[in-house]
Amino acid sequence: MTAAYGRDRRMLKDHGNRFVCVLYRRANRIVGTSIDSNVVFDGLKMQGFTDRELAKNEIVQFLLGQRTPRIESDEGYKTVKITRGSKLG
């Protein structure tokens, strides 16, 4: 399976930041509220990905791998939530 973002880490970081912002708005700024990750990804209103599920999963994996905790996800990346360690807003 080919990566949706390939080597474009800058675009992945940008989309990851936007993903967190959409998640924050969808969760009504409430830390720990689980939201369907597909709903958050759809909120980015991005086009051009042949495998949207792969692109969404890459964004979630990228965010989970950052040093400062920002989001948590269930196994399989079906839901995501903002963590207490997030500095948003």
Range 11-33 average pLDDT:
92
More confident residue, 6 or 12: 12
- Residue 72 is inside which H or E element, if any? strand 71-73
**What is the share, in percent, of the chain residues with pLDDT greater than 90?**
64
Spatial distance between the Cα atoms of 52 and 68, rounded to a whole number of angstroms: 26
Rounded distance between C-alpha atoms, residue 86 and residue 89, angstroms: 9
Hey, where are the domains in the chain? 9-82
> Is the predicted pLDDT of residue 25 greater than 60, yes or no?
yes
Q: Of 13 and 89, which is predicted with more confidence?
A: 13
When pLDDT is averaged across residues 12-40 and rounded to a whole number, the result is 93
pLDDT at 78: 96
